[in-house]
Structure 1
Amino acid sequence: MTDTVSRISGAKVDEDGLAVEREGLQSKLADLVSVAVDCVVVLNTSRLWRSDMAKVLIQRELKRYHVDVRAIEQQTYSIYNDDPNDFLVNGMLELLDQYQRLEIALKLSRGPM
């Protein structure tokens, strides 16, 4: 098994909402075909997605190859977790990530003050 580290950022879903347009992420998802990977380790899930659409698309690809997500700051996180409490807490954290993304976009759209 090969250890690789990626620090490529971005959060863009295509116009049709059918794909996540992030070159580094797409490359890593493509690697799942040829490399035996049990899980993807991230600081928190906002490093993978900050929108519901991106989450659904990325999780679909990870589940296709039976790969889980482990988040350092969300120790109970798993895309296969069915615990209602974990579902609630992780869902709230993901909503906060989306809020933060929208807030940053709004500030950037206003330009320098």
Structure 2
Amino acid sequence: MASFSLLDLETTIRERARSGDPESWTAKLFAKGMDKAAQKLGEEAVETVIAAVKGDTKAVISESADLLYHWLVVLAIAGISLDDVLAELERRTGRSGIAEKASRPQSG
């Protein structure tokens, strides 16, 4: 199993975003803002789904890596940390999905 974690990736993303390096895709993506980052996240999600439906394991792995990277970029641009998301997942642990969903505030 790899010793590289999503926390490592989050740190790398934040460092590269701050660098302003014109050769860094991450810095360029941050400069383009949330709209572009969210668009890329959506594209990678669709590509991951397509690979999964096709049963293409290698592509699912590759597209999932792209998806996780772009997801962390979107979180960083929004000022949300991976720890924030993990805390929410921890809060939900031990509750059935139905009970958790029912406890959410109702909209509209």
TM-score, length-scaled by structure 1: 0.32
Relative to its length, the structure with more helix (as a share) is: 2
